[in-house]
Amino acid sequence: MTSPNDRLRDSWRDERRRLQRQIGDLQQRFDDIVAAAELTSTDDEHDPEGATIAYERAQVWALLQHARTALAAIEGSLESVDAGEVPDCAVCHGAIDTERLLALPGIRTCIDCARRGHRLP
């Protein structure tokens, strides 16, 4: 039978690989947008074809930063589980259900604290 830590480790490693691929794809997309902007007119604010280059660049940058933050959370969780620790709730310091940790990698609150509306800074 697989232990909860083994299940978490396997799931989080899969999520880490997915996020690493996503970050690579988003970084390439961001670089492509920046390169394309250098080759076009700088007045894209009145482009009749839709979104501006600045908007697209900002959108991809935000997605890239979100993915990097998620990856850092996963890596922190993996370090904990590799050290034999299961992450506990950052609010009440109680256990976080394994199924919750599997569904929401990097989560830092138990379901009870989340229901009470506790938010982390």
Q: Over the stretch 78-107, which tens digit does the pLDDT of each residue have?
A: 998 889 888 889 999 999 999 999 998 888
Phi, psi angles (nearest 5°) of residue 88: -105, 170
Residue 118 pLDDT level (bands cut at 50, 70, 90): confident
Long-range contacts of 84-87 (CB under 8 A, 24+ apart): 84/5, 86/4, 86/5, 86/8
* Residue extent(s) of CATH 1.10.287 domains in the chain: 4-85
pLDDT in tens, 24-75: 999 999 999 989 877 766 555 555 655 688 889 999 999 999 999 999 989 9
Based on its alpha-carbon atoms, the radius of gyration of the chain, rounded to whole angstroms, reads: 19
CATH number assigned to the domain covering 4-85: 1.10.287
